[in-house]
């Protein structure tokens, strides 16, 4: 347990202090969303119409980008080998790192999204659903991403690989996440979509750490 | 009893054929025949499909795209299942030939998938008025192409080829979720794309004059795939041997 | 300056399943056969000096002993019959790479590894500072010189409880005093019943050390 | 001249062989564009309406992402110091690297964009203008990015810094680029926007190498 | 194996504006004063051995001589009155970092640096291969061992035309044969009129070498 907390603390510290952490992800998210009105044009109806999709898609990309370094940095500087040969089970190691990743990126993204929604004319009624859907969906991205990052570890072109692996798998999250917000925007009930997102999150929590741990063991071989 | 011993005999024959040296020899004998037969059926299917079969009463001449589109779609799905199966076999049994065969098959499957997407697009423009729509079948087929790309990239991304093979095998197995989605998307969701008319319960609902060229082309695609697959697997096996020899001679040169 | 205060090396290690035996081991990296037919027995209190030309496989041997690499053929087993891969916590490897984060300070880096190893309470620098890195504790690691980084990395040995130390050219980048300290730590670890495998390009030998030569010297 | 060609060749080789190169950028671009319809929904009119903006914005982000490594990799592995103390003037060094970056990312992006446009129901008439606008606009991104990358060199959070510096400067490129495509889509003349893009490119070509070289000299100090 | 074939060291260097003089130089890194009041004169054919504890400022001194760092006070000037910063091409620095790309092969890496240095036609390996890396030419650098990487990096010296070599602990990670080659190359470079500054933690000295001690030995 001690080791679990140690890993969690260190990763959070690194995310707050170093590149590819919280600030990079938030910066990317804000900029990516800000670029849209420039390209699409300023009409409020159009922006509001695409707002849920844009916010969710950009949050997905932002999370994806930060995933590459989940294990890669530890692998390169030689930390991963002692981490895996310590007393902490690899599954728990993965869980600690995925949790740190979520706290450092998913959570800030979810909190920032409603603010950025304002710039896209997202109606205020949809804000709580946007927040809730991101709070449920981003952990899935962190967990799926952990599997992808472990599989791509040490590979050339790791970023593309990761994207190509994680994206098809996270497509349902995106569809239901953006769908929930859109329902709220048009006055429909968002609960079914949110429930689906929640159950996907639970399944990911059960399956992904095991898969990622197996991939990691392969990687340091 | 007899069945069990027959299965055992087949299994042993397969294992023997899977020995790299034996495989190179066997496949060398097989390839010309398979390729020739495939080419002949391809020509026959083309002639039948493009010249002999009638135009559709609704779709007119564009229906002839079907003779490329549908076999390519079937092959895209079939090869993915094959790649995933071979990967699983490699993970469980650890036989390097299974991985080599998977590595050889994946780009071919990607090619068939791409042909399906391109012919589908060409067909979609006159039929639906758009090259592309985001309906469930089309989207899931596009994801299948991405999965192929992921598999190809992953299996070649490591210095240690065994790692690439294993990682790609995992991705292949996980990606199998997508196959039923592609196949049944037309039944589960209300889509623009037309539902199954050949491979469905209760027999094909298609005129024999169109069914024949279609089946001819499907068989030709299978055979051509099989020939290319054997060639590529052979290349993988021989390449691995060459690399091993080169690294041995390098070690000796260094000493 | 005392080299160790509150000496963690005073107490003997818990009894450990030495020897670690290699019999007829072949190692393969990627598709390259690195060495083959290697026999080796590592006993409690033992010190092995591993030598050999560049690329002879010294680092590969250490990775194998640490359980990070599976032998392509042959057996590598601890005294109780378990493979190094199954009990990686029995070895501490200090490699060419430092396993330290440039953005964190020396104190933060070491505190993390100590906590991860299960050392209770903040163990560093209160316990020991063999390499005198206390003065550098509060600067980000990225601003340190090559030798200073190496010193911080080696300080991890002061709280390692693994019976087997695997040190890959540990004296690289260290000044004379630092090099002396490395050998002192090795001697202390052997006295408390641990074993050490060191790769080195230096000449000269150490009392009671066994030597292993990989490949041919060019 | 020899040294200029040597740098150009090496950077192209690296881009084709290693991470963060051509394949990463193209992969990111394709996936980012494919994510939109999943989030926004499949209606062809909506997609066609936002297509120019989405394509241009995602091309911009893809180029931005690959910029981080423009000098960073050389800096980290110690190559930048010998590169700057060679016989090649730093301005030419920057030009060689920016040119390699454009050939390895901007050009493939421009060529891939019309294909992706099909998926967003962009009308065929707009394709040539899309290609032309990207061919004129992406060199500006490479050149501006070189300045940003040189300024952010060695800084923590280089990606955010880079984005924050380069983005405001490249906003005009985005507006005129997407604007040209939109004009073509709605049947208006795209030439004025394209001419503006072309003149921006010329100015960038004259100014950016000098600025980036100055920043580089600072950075290795 | 001949250490050099088609010896690039046979021809003398073009006449060079030695000596490089440091007078009362202070060096500052970030906000830390690393050393101060340093005087030094580097002459044609000269060899300086720079020693000092970890963090004493050896690497900093080399960066200063290479013109990468400006002295915070004092003067550093070549014989013709120009500052190292203005003529960086007069020095070749081989530092702790290898300046090689992991994704490229040894041959590709070296061919790049040769072409960049203006050596006509593909100069490597046709000219010389002092560190015997020819056998490794076609594998990606990332798969090489620590010492093999170092050998590839040092091979750059075989086509360096700069009169001043700055070598930061060049024998690190090299086996005995590799270390010998380094000293042979240094001697050859001095014979043709070049000068060399070497940092080292090793004891022992070289004929005709001047010594510089930075800081206090700990
Ligand atoms: C890019 C667009 C398209 C894609 C990705 C696509 C994909 C597929 C796939 C995956 C199948 C195989 C399904 C199975 O095995 O059950 C298929 C079959 C078929 N497609 Fe398409 N398709 C596209 C466009 C079209 C268009 C425009 C038409 C005609 C209007 C069309 C007509 C058919 C027909 C008739 C079949 C055979 C169905 C059967 O008998 O099972 N497709 N397509
Ligand atoms: N960016 C920086 N900010 C603050 N201090 C720095 C910075 N860079 C170097 N230093 C400090 O300057 C001092 C000298 O470093 P230098 O690398 O020159 O030492 P060195 O003599 O080469 O040591 P070693 O033997 O370990 O290689 C060190 O104490 C280091 O901490
Ligand atoms: N992933 C890999 N693929 C192919 N060959 C590899 C790989 N990793 C290591 N090797 C090779 O294995 C050999 C042994 O490397 P190792 O690092 O063990 O050498 P070493 O004895 O530690 O050398 P040094 O003294 O230079 O540190 C080298 O020839 C190296 O090229
Ligand atoms: Mg080694
Ligand atoms: Mg130094």
pLDDT at residue E2 tops 50: no
Q: For the residues of C69-106, what is the DSSP string, one character each?
A: S--SEEEEE-TTS--TTT-GGGEEEE-SS----TTSBH
* CB environment E93-127: b (16+ within 10 A), e (fewer): bbbebbbbbbbbbbbbbbbbbbbbbbbeeebbbeb
Greatest mean pLDDT among B154-163, C18-27, D212-221: C18-27
Closest chain B residue to E140 measured between Cα atoms? Answer: B159
User: Lowest mean pLDDT: which of A107-121, B25-39, E112-126?
Assistant: E112-126
Give the separation between CA C209 and CA C45, rounded to whole angstroms: 10
Between strands C164-168 and C91-94, the pairing is parallel
Task: Taking residues D89-105, report their average pLDDT.
Answer: 93
Instruction: Name, in order, each residue with C-beta under 8 angstroms of D53's C-beta and a sequence gap of 6 or more.
Output: A36, A38, A39, A40, A41, D178, D182
**Structure tokens, A101:** 């990743």
Per-residue confidence band for B54, with pLDDT thresholds at 50, 70 and 90: confident
Sheet strands side by side (includes E20-29): E32-42, E20-29, E73-77
pLDDT tens for residues B246-255?
Answer: 766 666 655 4
User: How large is the ipTM?
Assistant: 0.83
Q: Which of E134, E81, E137 is closest to E108 using CA atoms?
A: E137
DSSP A129-153: HHHHHHHHHHHHHHHHHHHHHHHTT
Q: Which chains touch D (3 or more CB pairs under 8 A)?
A: A, B, E
pLDDT higher than threshold 70 for residue C47: yes
- CATH number, position E123: 3.40.50.300
Chain B positions touching chain A (beta carbons under 8 Å): 143, 146-147, 149-150, 153-154, 157-158, 160, 163-164, 166-167, 170-171, 174-175, 178
Q: How many CA atoms lie within 13 A of A68 on its CB side?
A: 22
Ion ligand 4, residues whose Cβ is below 5 A away: C 58-59; E 145-146
A203: contact with B, CB 8 A cutoff: no
Confidence of residue E174 (pLDDT cuts 50, 70, 90): very high
In this prediction, residue A19 carries a pLDDT of: 55
Averaged confidence pLDDT in chain A: 86
State the Cα–Cα distance between residues D212 and D27, nearest whole angstrom: 28
- Domain contains E12: no
In a domain, C14, yes or no: no
Candidates B243, B254, B255; nearest CB to C31: B243
Tell whether C54 is covered by a domain: yes
Interface of D with E in 86-105 (CB under 8 A): 86-88
Asked if residue E106 lies in contact with residue E133, where contact means CB atoms within 8 angstroms, the answer is yes
Buried b (16+ CB within 10 A) or exposed e, C12-22: eeeebebbbbb
- For the cut 80, the answer to whether the pLDDT of residue E23 exceeds it is yes
User: What residues contact E188, with CB distance under 8 A and at least 6 apart?
Assistant: E4, E9
Whole-number Å distance between alpha carbons of B126 and D196: 37
Full residue range of the structural domain in which residue E196 is found: 20-200
| Closest approach of B160 to chain C, Cα-based (Å) | 4
Torsion of CA D88, D90, D93, D95, to 10 degrees: -130
Q: How far is B238 from chain E (nearest CA, A)?
A: 20
Determine the pLDDT at residue D157: 59
Predicted pLDDT at B36: 94
Nearest CA in chain E to B250: E135
- Closest Cα in chain B, distance from residue C77 (Å): 23
Ligand 1 atom closest to B204 (CA): 40
Helices (H), A68-190: 69-76, 80-84, 90-101, 107-119, 127-151, 158-185
Residue C217: predicted pLDDT = 35
Cα gap D40→B138, rounded to integer Å: 16
Q: Which pLDDT tens digit goes with each residue over B139-188?
A: 889 989 988 988 988 888 887 788 888 889 988 988 888 888 888 877 77
pLDDT at E132 (0 to 100): 87
In a domain, C73, yes or no: yes
C149 touches C131 (CB < 8 A)? no
B80-84, C32-36, D121-125, range with greatest mean pLDDT? B80-84
Q: If 0-12 CB within 10 Å is exposed, 13-18 middle and 19+ buried, where does residue C37 land? A: exposed
Among D78, D83, D220, select the one facing E98 at the smallest CB separation: D78
The rounded Å distance from CA B204 to ligand 1 centre is 15
Number of domains in chain C: 1
A142-199 tens-digit pLDDT: 999 999 899 888 777 677 778 777 877 788 888 889 889 888 888 888 888 899 999 9
| Closest C-alpha residue for ligand 1 atom 33 | B194
Closest CA relative to residue D110, chosen from D59, D145, D180: D59
Measured CA angle at C50 (ends C47, C51), to 5 deg: 145
D58-84 mean pLDDT: 84
Give the closest residue to A174 by CA, choosing from D32, D20, D86, C53: D32
Q: Which ligand is nearest to the CA of C150?
A: 2
On the CB side of E97, CA atoms within 13 Å amount to 16
Residue from the list D20, D39, D158 with its beta carbon closest to the beta carbon of A19? D158
- List residues near ligand 3 (CB under 6 A): B 159-160; C 29-30, 32, 34, 52, 54-60; E 143-148, 173
More confident residue, A95 or D50: A95
CA distance C125 to C139: 15
Q: How many CB atoms within 10 Å of residue E4?
A: 17
Show the ligand 2 pocket: residues with CB < 6 angstroms: C 143-148, 173; E 29-30, 32, 34, 52, 54-60
Structure confidence by residue, pLDDT tens digits, A25-61: 888 888 888 877 877 777 888 888 888 888 998 888 8
Give domain status of residue C102, yes or no.
Answer: yes
Tell whether E215 is covered by a domain.
no
Q: How far is the CA of D199 from the centre of ligand 4 (A)?
A: 55
Cα distances (Å, whole numbers) of residue D22 to C216, D146, D217: 43, 17, 28
Query: Looking at the domain assignment, is residue E214 inside a domain?
Result: no
Nearest atom in ligand 2 to C148's CA: 26
């Amino acid at each position: 347990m001690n080791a679990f907390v140690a890993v969690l603390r260190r990763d959070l510290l690194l995310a707050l202090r170093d590149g590819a952490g919280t600030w990079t992800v938030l910066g990317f998210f804000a900029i990516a969303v800000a670029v849209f009105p420039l390209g699409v044009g300023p009409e409020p109806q159009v922006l509001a119409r695409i707002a849920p999709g844009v916010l969710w898609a950009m949050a997905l990309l932002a999370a994806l980008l930060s995933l590459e370094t989940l294990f890669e940095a530890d692998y390169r500087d030689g930390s991963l080998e002692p981490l895996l040969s310590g007393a902490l089970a690899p599954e728990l190691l993965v869980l600690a790192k995925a949790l740190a990743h979520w706290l450092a990126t998913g959570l800030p993204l979810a909190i920032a999204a409603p603010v950025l929604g304002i710039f896209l004319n997202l109606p205020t009624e949809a804000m709580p659903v946007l927040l809730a859907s991101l709070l449920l969906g981003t952990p899935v991205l962190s967990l799926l991403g952990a599997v992808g990052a472990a599989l791509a570890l040490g590979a050339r072109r790791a970023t593309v690989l990761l994207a190509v692996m994680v994206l098809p798998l996270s497509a349902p999250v995106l569809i239901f996440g953006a769908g929930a917000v859109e329902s709220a925007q048009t006055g429909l009930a968002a609960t079914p979509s949110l429930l689906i997102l929640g159950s996907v999150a639970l399944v990911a929590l059960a399956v992904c750490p095991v898969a990622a741990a197996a991939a990691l063991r392969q990687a340091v071989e | 009893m007899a069945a069990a011993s027959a299965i055992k005999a087949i299994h042993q024959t397969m294992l023997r054929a899977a020995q790299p040296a034996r495989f190179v020899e066997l496949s060398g004998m097989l390839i010309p025949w398979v390729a020739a037969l495939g080419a002949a059926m391809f020509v026959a299917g083309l002639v039948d499909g493009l010249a002999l079969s009638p135009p559709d009463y609704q779709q007119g001449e564009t229906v002839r795209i079907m003779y490329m589109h549908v076999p390519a779609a079937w092959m895209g799905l079939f090869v993915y299942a094959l790649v995933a199966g071979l990967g699983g076999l490699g993970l469980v049994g650890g036989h390097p030939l299974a991985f080599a065969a998977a590595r050889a098959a994946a780009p071919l499957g990607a090619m068939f998938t791409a042909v399906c997407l391109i012919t589908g697009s060409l067909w979609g423009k006159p039929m639906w008025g758009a090259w592309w729509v985001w309906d469930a079948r089309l989207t899931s087929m596009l994801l299948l192409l991405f999965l192929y790309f992921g598999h190809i990239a992953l299996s070649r991304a490591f210095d240690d080829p065994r790692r690439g093979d294993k990682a790609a095998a995992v991705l292949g197995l996980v990606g199998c979720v997508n196959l039923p989605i592609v196949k049944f998307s037309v039944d589960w969701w209300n889509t623009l794309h037309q539902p199954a008319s050949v491979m469905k319960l209760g027999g094909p609902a298609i005129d024999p004059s169109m069914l024949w060229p279609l089946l001819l082309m499907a068989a030709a695609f299978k055979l051509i795939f099989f020939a290319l697959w054997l060639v590529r697997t052979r290349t993988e096996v021989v390449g691995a041997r060459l690399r091993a020899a080169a690294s041995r001679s390098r070690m000796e040169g260094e000493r | 300056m005392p080299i160790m205060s509150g000496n963690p090396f005073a107490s003997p290690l818990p009894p450990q399943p030495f020897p670690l035996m290699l019999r007829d081991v072949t190692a393969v990296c990627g598709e390259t056969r690195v060495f083959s037919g290697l026999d080796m027995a590592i006993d409690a209190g033992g010190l092995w000096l591993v030598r050999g030309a560049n690329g002879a496989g010294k680092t590969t041997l250490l990775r194998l002993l640490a359980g990070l690499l599976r032998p392509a053929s042959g057996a590598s087993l601890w005294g109780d019959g378990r493979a190094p891969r199954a009990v990686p916590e029995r070895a501490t490897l200090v490699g060419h790479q430092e396993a330290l984060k440039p953005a964190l300070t020396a104190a933060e880096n070491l505190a993390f590894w100590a906590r991860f190893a299960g050392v209770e309470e903040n163990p560093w620098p209160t316990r020991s500072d063999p390499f005198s890195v206390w003065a550098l504790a509060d600067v980000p690691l990225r601003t340190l010189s090559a030798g200073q980084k190496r010193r911080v990395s080696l300080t991890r040995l002061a709280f390692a409880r693994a019976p087997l130390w695997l040190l890959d050219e540990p004296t690289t980048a260290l000044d004379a005093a630092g090099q002396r300290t490395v050998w002192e730590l090795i001697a202390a670890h052997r006295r408390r019943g641990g074993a050490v495998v060191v790769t080195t390009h230096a000449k000269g030998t150490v009392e009671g050390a066994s030597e292993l030569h990989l490949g041919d010297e060019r």
